[in-house]
Amino acid sequence: MWGTGYSTVVNDRKKNGLYEHLVTRVTFSGNNNDLIEINNRMTAEGSTVPTVDVFNYWIASGDNLKIDGTKSLAYVLRKEARHVFVYHLCIILYTIATTLKKEKYDSPRELLICGGGSRYLDNFIDSDVDKLGRLAKVVFDHVWQADNQAPKIHLEENRKEATGYGALYMESDQMPKEYFLNELPANEVMGLLDDITKQIQELNVVYIKMMQVFDDGMDIDDLSSALNADLGDAVYKTLHEQVHERANKSKNYKGALLTIPALDRLITLTHTLIKN
């Protein structure tokens, strides 16, 4: 989310539309000269500081940082970039759903949100667990082709503790196995281009349905166009560079191949901020 995707250009900041959208609008309240100086060095033309580190610095600055002089970073990201974070959530939920369905499980009735990074849900999408449940329902209904009850969402206060909670009281023989959507020889990955492109197209359809839960004034057609532009070429490029060229051809590739081109689409979506 904070990075530059698979850009091969060192610190290609223009690759991330979120960064471009915010960098000139960042201010610091009061006489925080030290914070201002650090920010100026990190964001200066020619700086080698990655955008990931810049975003982490902005977030860590808390109430000292303002956008346009008066607005909090969280407020601006929710108002102007919520659709980007929803796509990230869509990738996760779609991967969960298709994996569970493949293993012949029913649609989940509850979701426990884990990990410190998951706070982007309540900070930048919505803190209303009922609305988050509606978003999950959109994905699950599409994958299972049924009208499921919206899952109950658990947003624990201690997200780090929640990460391991499900396994704390299990015996070793009860631990869940690792699930992979794809496990195949790395040199066969490129043969799945058509299938993965179709999956991305389906993911994008589900995402548009999720965005219709909100009344953000976003142009849905613009979002769809941005996500599907040159899709076939983008899938080929990312899989060829990130799997085919890098993987040890004698070993199996394990992972969700879908998420590789999906990340490219996510970074592409950050540029809809500039337009809107």
Read off φ and ψ for residue 223, nearest 5 degrees.
-60, -45
Rounded to 10 deg, the angle between the 259-269 and 220-228 helix axes is: 130
pLDDT of residue 11: 65
Confidence of residue 176 (pLDDT cuts 50, 70, 90): low
pLDDT of residue 76: 94
Read off φ and ψ for residue 114, nearest 5 degrees.
-125, 155
65 pLDDT higher than 60: yes
Cβ-Cβ contacts under 8 Å for 133 (sequence gap 6 or more): 111, 150, 151, 152, 153
User: pTM of the prediction?
Assistant: 0.89
pLDDT of residue 250: 62
pLDDT of residue 274: 57
pLDDT of residue 244: 77
111 pLDDT higher than 80: yes
pLDDT of residue 9: 64
Cβ-Cβ contacts under 8 Å for 21 (sequence gap 6 or more): 80, 81, 270, 273, 274
10 pLDDT higher than 70: no
Question: Among the residues of the chain, which ranges form H helices?
Answer: 17-22, 33-43, 51-60, 73-102, 120, 129-144, 159-168, 193-211, 220-228, 231-239, 259-269, 272-275
Highest-scoring range by mean pLDDT, 35-39, 113-117, 189-193: 35-39
3 pLDDT higher than 90: no
pLDDT of residue 243: 81
Section 129-152 average pLDDT: 96
What's the pLDDT tens digit per position in 200-241? 999 999 999 999 999 777 788 889 999 999 999 999 988 888
7 pLDDT higher than 80: no
pLDDT of residue 87: 96
Q: What is the share, in percent, of the chain residues with pLDDT greater than 70?
A: 87
144 pLDDT higher than 70: yes
256 pLDDT higher than 90: no
pLDDT of residue 130: 96
Q: Range with the lowest mean pLDDT among 93-107, 117-131, 137-151, 209-223? A: 209-223
